[in-house]
Amino acid sequence: MASRKNLVANRSALAHKARYALTHPQRVPGHLRRAARDRWLAFKHRDHVSYYRAVMASDTRRSPDAAVGSPTREGWLKLGLLQFDYLLGHGLTPGKRMLDIGCGNLRAGWRFINYLEPGNYYGLDISPDVLIAAKRTLTDRGLQAKLPHLTLTHDLTLDFLPDAYFDVVHAHSVFSHSPLDVIEECLAHVGRVLAPGGFFDFTFDRTVGAEHHVLREDFYYRTETLTGLAQRHGLHACFMNDWELLGHGQSKIRVTAEPLPASPSVQV
Could you read off the pLDDT of 11-59 as tens digits, one per residue? Answer: 877 777 778 777 888 877 877 888 888 888 888 888 888 988 888 889 8
For residue 190, pLDDT beyond 90: yes
CATH of the domain at 262: 3.40.50.150
Query: What's this model's pTM, rounded to 2 decimal places?
Result: 0.90
State pLDDT tens for residues 133-187: 999 999 999 999 999 999 999 999 999 999 999 999 999 999 999 999 999 999 9
Cα–chain center distance at 3: 18
Domain interval for residue 188: 14-267
Answer yes or no: is 8 within a domain: no
Answer yes or no: is 202 within a domain: yes
Confidence of residue 264 (pLDDT cuts 50, 70, 90): low
Answer yes or no: is 161 within a domain: yes
Mean confidence (pLDDT) of the chain: 91
- Spatial distance between the Cα atoms of 120 and 97, rounded to a whole number of angstroms: 5
Strand extents, DSSP E, the chain: 98-101, 121-125, 149-152, 166-171, 194-206, 212-214, 218-221, 236-240, 251-256, 266-267
Answer yes or no: is 185 within a domain: yes
- Which of 108-117, 165-174, 206-215 has the weakest average pLDDT? 206-215
- Spatial distance between the Cα atoms of 163 and 252, rounded to a whole number of angstroms: 25
Answer yes or no: is 5 within a domain: no
Answer yes or no: is 21 within a domain: yes
Answer yes or no: is 2 within a domain: no
Answer yes or no: is 150 within a domain: yes
- Total structural domains within the chain: 1
